[in-house]
Homo-oligomer: A and B are copies of this chain.
């Protein structure tokens, strides 16, 4: 089904829902989902509306301007209009660990992830064969401290050539430069292998082991310049016990990581995530 999705934020005031729904109704929009949220502290209003496009009486490329004119300007709205076609184009960056990658490829293969995946990028070659068996192009771009800048330029070129919409770091063990991140604001999803803000940085399972926590977790978040500090999209946890070694924490944690990352990707693809400052509103 062809859908339009409208994402709105504006100063809170009366009548917004009424006006947005009147607009959609006036052009025969069959509303599929409407969600709204008011942040009382910020005095801001957030809304997501999805409707069927086929029966809508405005042309696809008229909608944004009409909406702006009839509704958006009056409420000083910051809005974005999305469609669920063509599918968003997602790049996956990985190193050697395969659990997140295979989980994503499996879902995509089963038709459960509405994205195109034109490219998997890795600084290792080990996962090439299986990625290609899934019918996805695999790009090997090795990275050393000397070649990092060149490698990133290479990656960015690849993103451009493939008109990539957003990037998923599926346990990609390299830190992206501020410059790379600027090309994809709130469009790079990372999976961090701890329950943030606990255990920021490297080796969180070791840190969890040292601290003796009884629960470990994983966090999917948008990448910002500050390490592991971007807006959190999804988190989940698993119980561990005193007899679990670090190796076991890693394995237990990987099951959490892959589920959390895939949920975050799904929310992002369905345009259900609104990053607000350093937090997210998630309309699921």
Contact = CB atoms under 8 A, between A and B. Distances in A.
Interface of A: 14-15, 17-18, 21-22, 24-25, 28-32, 34, 36-38, 40, 97-99, 102-103, 105-107, 109-110, 112, 129-130, 132-134, 195-199, 211-215, 217, 231-237, 241-243, 245, 251, 255, 259, 262, 278-282
A83 to B, nearest CB: 20
Contacts of A107: 99
Contacts of A278: 211-212
Contacts of A99: 106-107, 110
B242 A213 contact: no
Given A14-B30, A17-B34, A133-B129, A215 B242 contact: no
B236 A215 contact: yes
Contacts of A29: 14
B215 A237 contact: yes
B241 A213 contact: no
24 contacts: A17-B34, A18-B21, A18-B25, A34-B34, A34-B36, A37-B242, A37-B243, A40-B245, A98-B106, A98-B110, A102-B102, A102-B106, A130-B130, A130-B134, A195-B195, A196-B211, A212-B231, A214-B232, A214-B233, A214-B282, A241-B282, A242-B280, A242-B281, A255-B259
Contacts of A133: 129-130, 132-134
A18 B31 CA distance: 10
B237 A213 contact: no
| The 6 residue pairs across chains A and B that have the minimum distance between CB atoms | A212-B279, A133-B133, A18-B21, A102-B106, A198-B198, A18-B25
Contacts of A15: 25
Contact of A279 (B31, B196, B242, B245): B242
Contacts of A36: 34
A16 B280 CA distance: 29
B242 A282 contact: yes
Nearest to A255: B259
A163 to B, nearest CB: 27
Contact of A197 (B32, B213, B251): B213
Nearest to A15: B25
A282 to B, nearest CB: 6
A236 B217 CA distance: 12
Nearest to A36: B34
B25 A14 contact: yes
